Amino acid sequence: MKKTLGVWVIVLAIVTLACSAESFLVPATAPAPPRPNPIPTSFVPTPLPASAGGALSEEETLLENLYLRVNPAVVNITVSGGDSNQLTELGSGSGFVIDKKGHIVTNNHVVAEATELEVTFSDGRVAMAKVVGTDPYSDLAVIKVDAPDNWLAPVELGDSDAIKVGQRVVAIGNPFGLQGSMTLGIVSALGRTLPADQQSAQDGGFFQNPQIIQTDAAINPGNSGGPLLDIRGRVIGVNAAIRTDNGTRANSGVGFAIPVNTVKRVAPQLIEKGGVSYPYLGVTSDNRFSIAELAAAVKLPVDHGVLVSSVTPDGPADQAGLRGSDKTARVRGVQVAVGGDIIIAIDGTEIRDFDAMITYLVNHTQVGQTVTVTIVRDGQEQQVKIKLGERPK
């Protein structure tokens, strides 16, 4: 018995040592994590009641209907340039049909360098287009497709003067070539300005595009030329630009659209004449400081208006006797031209700043029209008659 017990003790000792030796050979890795417990029943989403039936909200129904009505009018424009024998695709943008004759509104910067234009409709049908007219100042253009009547579903144009900050807006276009994309937002601000086409600025002075609509509806490269719509599906603007500071050219929540009332004024001229005539006063102004800021710094007699820095030689203002600045003053470390006439009204309408002056001239006057300009000169108000010319082309 003792001998048998001894044998078992020896066997047990050998097994124990073997197990201990094996433990030193296990790789130095963490043990496998424990299996997760099943998701508690309380965390499982409550199923939608059968009575709900998946019904859409009133806004969802409205947006769905808007898309079905308007998207057929929105097109993708593929732009190719270069020699007609060796075309290079330059990019793409958006546009929208405005009549049954095949006219499509888009941005000037979309088609400015085009040799060939290919238009793709929402259902995938394709037609070639030609440029009818362009306007660098408003950044608008009209192109035309020769397409069957049943391809063309014109949009309804709204009234951009009636829109308010905070109202819902919808953008439809082709961001990054993703055709028929719809985004939702609000009107963030009104009365913004954008610089006109840089080449036209070089040719005839620096001009601003006034009354621009700001929106937070997502607008990205490829949306240019597409419609900005009110919640009823009426066009209130043409998506034109975004604000981005990170170099990605992606949306940062600040987009800009040209007001549709500008389209109503410009598009007929582009269709009829291929270009647009703008009334021209022939004055420049330093806009680094407002009149209110200058009034406090250099004791100006008024706190609103346009301080004339210079007049274009032989231009309308020069011929009428308006005077530019004849001296400078230092304001916040910057030399500013002062001493010129200050325009405070045109035809009795108060002019608060340079943008307001451009807006009034564009919307309420014509080339060749004589206007009454109220100025302040040497502290005294006087009125001057000026016959408007045409902006240099």
- The answer to whether the CB of 197 falls within 8 A of the CB of 139 is yes
- Whole-angstrom Cα distance, residue 233 to residue 158? 9
* pTM beyond 0.85, yes or no: no
Residue 386: helix, strand or coil by DSSP? Answer: strand
Q: What pLDDT, on a 0 to 100 scale, did the predictor assign at position 363?
A: 87
Q: Which of the 8 DSSP states describes residue 183?
A: E
- Whole-angstrom Cα distance, residue 196 to residue 241? 12
- The answer to whether the CB of 131 falls within 8 A of the CB of 114 is yes
Domains in the chain, CATH or no CATH each:
65-151 (2.40.10.10), 156-273 (2.40.10.10), 279-390 (2.30.42.10)
Q: What pLDDT, on a 0 to 100 scale, did the predictor assign at position 381?
A: 95
Q: What pLDDT, on a 0 to 100 scale, did the predictor assign at position 1?
A: 45
Structure tokens at 213: 């609509």
Q: What pLDDT, on a 0 to 100 scale, did the predictor assign at position 13?
A: 40
Contacts of 294 (CB under 8 A, 6+ apart): 300, 307, 331, 336, 338
Q: Which residues pair with 299 in a beta bridge?
A: none
- Whole-angstrom Cα distance, residue 74 to residue 222? 12
Would you please indicate which residues are annotated as catalytic (active-site) residues? 109, 139, 224
pLDDT tens, residue order, the chain (393 aa) = 444 444 443 333 433 433 443 333 333 334 545 555 555 555 556 665 665 556 678 888 899 999 999 999 999 999 999 887 788 888 899 999 999 999 999 999 999 989 999 999 999 999 999 999 999 999 999 999 999 999 999 999 999 999 999 999 999 999 888 888 999 999 999 988 887 654 433 333 456 788 899 999 999 888 999 999 999 999 999 999 876 555 555 556 789 999 999 999 999 999 999 999 999 999 999 878 888 888 877 888 998 999 999 999 999 999 999 999 988 888 888 888 888 999 999 999 999 998 899 989 998 999 999 999 999 999 999 999 999 999 887
Pick from 326, 333, 329, 304: which is nearest to 378 by CA? 326
Q: Which of the 8 DSSP states describes residue 23?
A: H
- Whole-angstrom Cα distance, residue 78 to residue 117? 6
Q: What pLDDT, on a 0 to 100 scale, did the predictor assign at position 250?
A: 58
